[in-house]
Chains A and B, each alone.
Chain A
Amino acid sequence: MSESWRETVKPLASIRLTVVLLALSIFLIFAGTWAQVDMGIWTTLKTYFRSYLVWIPLQIFLPRHWHVPGAFPYPGGTLLGTMLMINLLTAHAVRFKRKRRQIGIWLVHLGIILLLAGEGVTALFAEENNMTIDEGQTVNYAEDIRVVELAIIDKSNPEADRVIAIPQSMLRKGRVIHHPTLPFDLRIDQYFSNARLMEQANAAGTVMAANRGTAVENNLVAQEQPVVSGVEMGEIDLPAALVTPVANGQELGTWMASLYFSVVPQGTPQEITFDNKAYRIALRHKRVYKPYSVKLLDFKHDVYLGTNTPKNFSSHIQLVDPSHNENREVLIYMNNPLRYQGETFYQASFKEGDVGTVLQVVRNPGWLVPYIACVMGALGLLIHFGAHLLRFVNGRKAA
C-alpha cells in the first residue's frame, strides 16, 4: 500500500470513529425501538434501519398526548453499517498487523464483517410473501402485502394472460408510463397511498373521481387517508390510483384502480377497451409467480375438545413442480414448515370460516450468514481470551 493512500484513508481507520459509530448505532436502535409505539416493524425497519438518513421526531421519546412537534436528522442504519464496515476494513489495512497471536481478533472482526454483509444480503435479496389459497384452489404465485403494482392484463389469448406490472414506485401523480408492448401510455392523474372509498355524496376535500369503470358504476370516489402505522393487527393500506390511458394524444377515459377492488371484487372487473381489445386494469398486491404450483387439499383448524381454543392449524397441500419432477403431498403446520428450492413455507394465517389458508413464503439467501458470523465471533473470542488465560497461567508458573 502506498504511503499517500495510507495517509488518506487513515482517518477512516480511527478507533474514535468506531466508538462514535457504535454510539450512534446504539442511539438509533433506541430511537427505532421507541418508534415502534406508532409504527409497525416493517415501516420502522425501512425508515430507521434500511435508510441513509432518518428524521427522528422528538415526539417518539415523549408521552404521545404531549403533542411535541419537530424532528432532527440522523444517520440511518444503512449509512452507519456502511461506515462501520469501511472503518473495520480500513483499520485492518492500516493499523492491524497479521500476527499469529491476533488470530482471535481477526476472527471476531471477520464475524462482524460477515454480520454486516449478511444484513446487506438480506436487505437486498430476502423475500417474504404470502400465498393465500382456498380449499381446492391451486395457486402459482405469492403476494407481497406491503407493496402494490398496477397490472394491465391482456386476456385476448385464450391460453394465457399477458401481464404488464407497473411497480408502486412509478405510481406518482403526473407521471406518464410508456411501455413498448402497450398500445397506449398511462398517465397517473392521482395516487393515494391509502384511501377510503365512499359515495360521492359523503365525500369532501380532496377526492379522486373517475369517469369510467367500477368506481363510476358504484358511484364511488376515493378520499385520501393517512397511511396506516402497521401497529394494529391486520391493518393494511388500501392505495388507489387515478389512471388515464392516452393513445395518439387522445384520452381514453379515466379509471380508478383501487386495491379494494382486487381484495373484494365488485362485479365485473374493469377493462380499458382499445382497438377492439380489452385490457383489464387492476391495482393489486405485488405478485411473484413461481415455477411450481400449490393446491390446498385441506385446511384444518383443530380446537381443544369442548372449547373454541385453537389447538393446531395445518394445511394439507399438493406441491407440483414439473421442472423438478416434483409432485407430492405435504402437511404444513405450526413449527413444521415446508422447505423447498430455497424457500420456506410457514403456516401463517387462515381465512375466516376455515375455507382457506395463508402461507408465508420466505426466501433469504443470507439466512446462514449470521449463524456463521456468530460461530466465528465466538471462536475468535475463545481463542483470544484463551490465549490471554494461557499466558497468565504460564506467567504465574514461571514466577
Chain B
Amino acid sequence: MRSRFQTLFSAGVLAIASLGCHKDQIREYTVPKEQDRRLPMAHAPSQSAPMVQSEAPAASQHPEWTVPASWKELPGEGMRYATLVVEAQDPPLQIRVTPLGLNARDLLSNVNRWRGQIGLEPVGVDKPTTGLRTVQVDGRAVDLVDLTGPKTATEPATRILAAILPGDESVWFFFLSGPVERVDKHAAEFERFIHSVHLTTAPVVASMPADHPPIDAAPGSQPSTQPAEMTWTLPAGWHEEASTSAFRIATFKVAGGAGDTEIAITKFAGGAGGVLANINRWRGQIGLPPVGSLNEQAMQHGTVAGLPADRLDLSAPTGGPAERKRMIVVTVAHNETTYFIKMTGSSASVDTNTKAFDAFITSVQFTGAQS
C-alpha cells in the first residue's frame, strides 16, 4: 500500500503539470440582439494606435478655415484634427478641433459636460439656458456655446467658447477654454474664425501656419501647398498632384521626358511596422527578393532637417535603363511619426532626377519642436 505521502505527492505533481495544459475550445452561445456600430475610420478609438498604420480608405470631409494672423496652427494628434494656439503664453490658450461621430451631436449632453467642467449645475431640456446660439456657417446650422463658470477662492472664473459644426460624416467640435479675462479678449475673434470655417471633401492639404517664415524659393522653383508639419522647396520641373490616401501627405510628378518619376511623402504613426518589414516591402515592389536582416541591405545614414535619416537606393535586378525600376527612399522620424520620402521610376528617369531629389531632401524642414 502506498503511503499517504506518495498519493499526495503524485496528485501535487499532476496538478502542477496540468498548469500548462489549458486548452481552448470552440464556444457556442446565444446572446440578445446587438446593434451594429458603423463608424467611419476617422472616429477610431484612440487606444488602438496601430489602426493609424492602416492604408485603408479614410473619411475625407474636413474643415478649412482662415486663421487670424496672431494665431498659430499646429497639426492634430490622436483624434484631434488640429490645434489653434490663440495665446502662446504659458499655459497656452488653444482651440481644439476634434471630429466625433454623428451621435455626439446631442447639444444638451455636450453643454452639461462643459458646464460640469467649469463648476456650473447641469440644465435640463425644459430649462432653457443662456449662452446658446445657432448661427449659419457655410450653409450649416452651427451651435455656439458660451459658458462662464463661477470664480472660486482659489481659481479664477473659467469661460468656455465652443462651436458644434455638423458635417456629413462627423460632427466637428471647436473648443476654447481658459480664464475668463484671457478668453474675453478673443471672443469676437473666435466667432469670426468660426464663420470662416467651411467643410470640403478636397484632398487634405492644410495651409502653412500663419506665423511661418517665408521660404526662399530656389531659382525656377514653384510654390507648393505644404502640410502644417513640414516645409520644402520644390525643384524646377516638379509639380504636385492630388494625394490619393490620408497617409500620403504629398505626391509630385516630374514633368517632361522623365514623366514616369513619382515622388511621394507618406507618414505613419510610430515605427511604421519596423525598418526590415518596410525594406522588404519596397524590395518586393521592384521585384527584389526580401532580405533576412538589416545587415544584408546597404543603407546610407545621414540627416534630414537635422534629424537622423536613412537612405535606401534599390534597383530592379533586370531590364534596360528605360524599363528597369529604381527607387530611392529616405526615412526620417519626427515627433513619433515616421516619414517616407520616396522617388520611384525607371532607372533612367530616377538617375536624371537624383540631384533634384537630393536638393529637395535638403530643403525639407519640420515645423514644431521635436518632442
Does A11 sit within 8 A of B, measured CB to CB? no
Cβ A78 vs Cβ B47 within 8 A? no
Q: Smallest Cβ distance from A45 to chain B, in angstroms?
A: 14
Cβ A86 vs Cβ B5 within 8 A? no
Does A355 sit within 8 A of B, measured CB to CB? yes
Does B177 sit within 8 A of A, measured CB to CB? yes
Excluding A166-B26, A204-B281, 19 further A-B contacts by CB distance (< 8 Å) are: A52-B20, A78-B19, A93-B9, A120-B15, A160-B33, A170-B24, A179-B26, A197-B54, A204-B283, A204-B285, A226-B277, A263-B48, A264-B40, A265-B38, A305-B149, A306-B178, A308-B177, A353-B100, A355-B100
B149: A residues at CB distance < 8 A: 305
Chain B interface bracket (under 10, 10 to 19, 20 to 34, 35 or more): 35 or more
Decide if the interface of chain A is mainly helix, strand, loop or mixed: mixed
Tell me the chain B residues, 162-197 only, with Cβ under 8 Å from chain A. 173, 177-179
Cβ A161 vs Cβ B39 within 8 A? no
Cβ A225 vs Cβ B178 within 8 A? no
Separation of A120 and B20 alpha carbons in the complex (Å): 10
Q: Which stretch, B130-138, B152-160, B221-229, B346-354, touches the partner chain A?
A: B152-160
- 30 interchain pairs (CB within 8 A)? A1-B6, A5-B2, A9-B9, A67-B294, A93-B5, A120-B19, A132-B45, A155-B33, A158-B33, A160-B32, A164-B26, A165-B28, A166-B26, A167-B24, A204-B284, A225-B53, A226-B273, A232-B270, A234-B48, A236-B48, A238-B50, A238-B51, A260-B51, A260-B54, A263-B51, A265-B36, A265-B37, A306-B156, A352-B78, A353-B79
Does B199 sit within 8 A of A, measured CB to CB? no
Cβ A2 vs Cβ B3 within 8 A? yes
Separation of A266 and B54 alpha carbons in the complex (Å): 13
Does B299 sit within 8 A of A, measured CB to CB? no
Tell me the chain A residues, 58-88 only, with Cβ under 8 Å from chain B. 67, 78, 81-82, 85-86
B23: A residues at CB distance < 8 A: 169
Does B25 sit within 8 A of A, measured CB to CB? yes
> B49 contacts which of A160, A166, A232 (Cβ < 8 Å)?
A232
Cβ A305 vs Cβ B285 within 8 A? no
Interface flags, A39-69, vs B, CB<8A=1, else 0: 0000000000000100000000000000100
Q: Which residue of A lies closest to B152 (CB)?
A: A305
Contact A302-B19, Cβ < 8 Å, known A167-B24, A237-B50? no
Interface flags, A348-364, vs B, CB<8A=1, else 0: 01011111001000000
Interface contact tally, CB-CB below 8 A: 207
A67: B residues at CB distance < 8 A: 293-295
> A266 contacts which of B56, B118, B156, B158 (Cβ < 8 Å)?
B56
A168: B residues at CB distance < 8 A: 24
Cβ B46 vs Cβ A5 within 8 A? no
Max count, chain B CB within 10 A of own CB: residue among A2, A124, A168, A352:
A352
Separation of A303 and B178 alpha carbons in the complex (Å): 11
Q: Smallest Cβ distance from A303 to chain B, in angstroms?
A: 6
Does A327 sit within 8 A of B, measured CB to CB? no
Separation of A203 and B56 alpha carbons in the complex (Å): 12
Separation of A196 and B28 alpha carbons in the complex (Å): 30
Cβ B55 vs Cβ A197 within 8 A? yes
B298: A residues at CB distance < 8 A: none
Does A223 sit within 8 A of B, measured CB to CB? yes
Separation of A155 and B32 alpha carbons in the complex (Å): 10
B294: A residues at CB distance < 8 A: 67
The interface on chain A, measured as residues whose beta carbon lies within 8 A of the other chain's beta carbons, has a size of: 85
Cβ B55 vs Cβ A5 within 8 A? no
Does A267 sit within 8 A of B, measured CB to CB? yes
Q: Smallest Cβ distance from B234 to chain A, in angstroms?
A: 24
Does B219 sit within 8 A of A, measured CB to CB? no
Cβ B54 vs Cβ A196 within 8 A? yes
Cβ B48 vs Cβ A160 within 8 A? no
Q: Which stretch, B63-71, B109-117, B249-257, touches the partner chain A?
A: B109-117
Q: Which residue of B lies closest to A158 (CB)?
A: B33
The 6 closest A-B pairs by CB, nearest first: A204-B284, A167-B24, A198-B55, A352-B79, A305-B155, A205-B284
Contact A1-B158, Cβ < 8 Å, known A135-B109, A223-B281? no
Q: Which residue of A lies closest to B178 (CB)?
A: A306
Separation of A155 and B295 alpha carbons in the complex (Å): 52
Q: Which residue of A lies closest to B173 (CB)?
A: A353
Separation of A140 and B39 alpha carbons in the complex (Å): 21
Does B22 sit within 8 A of A, measured CB to CB? yes
Contact A160-B31, Cβ < 8 Å, known A236-B50, A267-B38? yes
Cβ B19 vs Cβ A124 within 8 A? yes
Max count, chain B CB within 10 A of own CB: residue among A199, A204, A289:
A204
Tell me the chain A residues, 259-314 only, with Cβ under 8 Å from chain B. 260, 263-267, 269, 289, 300-308
A135: B residues at CB distance < 8 A: 109
Q: Smallest Cβ distance from A175 to chain B, in angstroms?
A: 12
Does A115 sit within 8 A of B, measured CB to CB? no
Contact A234-B277, Cβ < 8 Å, known A124-B19, A160-B30? no
Cβ A225 vs Cβ B273 within 8 A? yes
A159: B residues at CB distance < 8 A: 32-33
A300: B residues at CB distance < 8 A: 113, 116
B78: A residues at CB distance < 8 A: 352
Q: Smallest Cβ distance from B162 to chain A, in angstroms?
A: 12
A237: B residues at CB distance < 8 A: 50
Cβ A163 vs Cβ B12 within 8 A? no
Contact A161-B31, Cβ < 8 Å, known A218-B57, A265-B39, A305-B149? yes
Does B230 sit within 8 A of A, measured CB to CB? no
Does A177 sit within 8 A of B, measured CB to CB? yes
Q: Which residue of B lies closest to A311 (CB)?
A: B117
Does B280 sit within 8 A of A, measured CB to CB? yes
Q: Smallest Cβ distance from B139 to chain A, in angstroms?
A: 25
Q: Which residue of A lies closest to B280 (CB)?
A: A205
A228: B residues at CB distance < 8 A: 50
Tell me the chain A residues, 341-383 only, with Cβ under 8 Å from chain B. 349, 351-355, 358
Contact A169-B24, Cβ < 8 Å, known A305-B118, A349-B47? yes
B15: A residues at CB distance < 8 A: 120
Does A323 sit within 8 A of B, measured CB to CB? no
Cβ A167 vs Cβ B25 within 8 A? yes
Separation of A190 and B283 alpha carbons in the complex (Å): 23
Does A220 sit within 8 A of B, measured CB to CB? yes
Cβ B28 vs Cβ A162 within 8 A? yes
Q: Which residue of A lies closest to B183 (CB)?
A: A306
Separation of A364 and B277 alpha carbons in the complex (Å): 39
Cβ B273 vs Cβ A196 within 8 A? yes
Interface flags, B211-233, vs A, CB<8A=1, else 0: 00000000000000000000000
Does A248 sit within 8 A of B, measured CB to CB? no
